[in-house]
Amino acid sequence: MTFDIQRARRETRACEDLVHFNNAGASLMPSPVSDALHRFLEWEETTGGYETEKNQSQALENVYNSAAKLINCKSTELAYTESATRAWQLAFYAFPLKRGDKLITTMAEYGSNMIAYLQQAERIGIEIIIAPNDEHGQVDLAALRNLIDDKVKLISMTHIPTGGGLVNQAKSIGALAKSADIPFLLDACQSVGQLPIDVDDIVCDMLCITGRKYLRGPRGTGMLYVRESLQPRLDPSSLDQHGAELLSATSYRARTDARQFENWESNCAAKYALGAALDYTLSWGIDSIAERVLSLAAYFRQKLSDIDGVTLTDLGEVQCGIVTFIAAQANPQTIKAHFASHRINVSTSKGSGSLVSFQDRDLTEVVRASVHYYNTEEEVDFVVDTLRQLINP
């Protein structure tokens, strides 16, 4: 099937005025999503916040149904949050770890997640085990298998790290976790929206999603998936009158679904727009999106590899729409500024995002250029030519 790039660009208002290769930071919202956000805010302005929430209650419920369809789960296994980071924290800090328990993670783990592991190691005395990489720079599955013993109580990893195009083998790791009866927490904030994600196929028990990246939703939106069978084992770090019901002066009853992790108050306009973004993603089809993104990224890498002095820094046998590189002739900040002067948006990734991996590879900072389905081969050519003008004038 031919990808309808004309539609994708027609429904992305700013794409003719700039080259946006910062989709792993925050994508450009498509017009149906942006319009939904503005429409809800206008309703709140003219009708009232509580009244709008009540009038649009069915549409707000759509967030759960559409997300469930996208990742193949029950709507009762999903909670709406203000970010993927918050979703991940809610899951991790609710998990019943105790002194002497082991947690296995990976070398490419996100820096914020590593901080949380270290905090729990200080607080309660858990042991953090970092699984080594194989020759491709992805998790060594044989080594991971050998690390599992009866003290390992959680396997937690980032599917796609923030600082590169690596796609870790979530399905294989999930199978290992399941065979050992160990819960599996997957940070999927970079993968949901650009790759097919099926929580039953991956066999993960908890998963976090962000709206602003490949789902093309508004900032300040996220979701948490918690498998129904695991929910009774988790103890949310905080509850309010949305996550629980006060029964008396001495008792309360927590909800029995994933929404026990939610707050009563939330940004309803952003939630409404996230529902629009999920529906918009579903309208394209995630398989079609993935094929387009991966093909464009592969073309980009091939073009970059032809430039003298440029080194690609992406690892893994499978690589995604995030393309990272360094150049001998200019540092990442100089390249980013040069691109910005030509209306090209990229970001840079420093060691703080993937510190263990960056230290292992003697990297301090890379240019991160992340493509999406509305980007084009012509834009790739323009970015490559612009880079060449800077480093090989």
Domain regions of the chain by residue span? 5-29+285-391, 32-283
What is the per-residue pLDDT for 337? 98
Phi, psi angles (nearest 5°) of residue 165: -90, 5
Residue 1: pLDDT band (50, 70, 90) is low
Instruction: Break the chain down into helix, strand, coil percent, rounded to 5.
Output: 45, 20, 40
Phi, psi angles (nearest 5°) of residue 314: -80, 140
Phi, psi angles (nearest 5°) of residue 303: -65, -40
Whose tokens are 């949901």? That residue is: 192
* 188: its two tokens: 């999927």
**What's the mean pLDDT in 293-304?**
98
CATH of domain 32-283: 3.40.640.10
What is the per-residue pLDDT for 18? 97
Whose tokens are 């290992």? That residue is: 176
Express each pLDDT in 191-224 by its tens digit. Answer: 999 999 999 999 999 999 999 999 999 999 999 9
Residue 260: pLDDT band (50, 70, 90) is very high
Dist CA 380 CA 371 (whole Å): 9
Q: Same topology for domains 5-29+285-391 and 32-283, yes or no?
A: no
**What's the mean pLDDT in 276-284?**
98
Provide the greatest CA pair distance for the chain. Answer: 74
Q: Which burial class, exposed, middle or buried, applies to 301 when counting CB atoms under 10 A from its CB (0-12, 13-18, 19+)?
A: middle
pTM of the model: 0.96
CATH of domain 5-29+285-391: 3.90.1150.10
What is the per-residue pLDDT for 355? 87
User: What angle is formed at CA 160 by the lines to CA 130 and CA 218, rounded to 5 degrees?
Assistant: 130
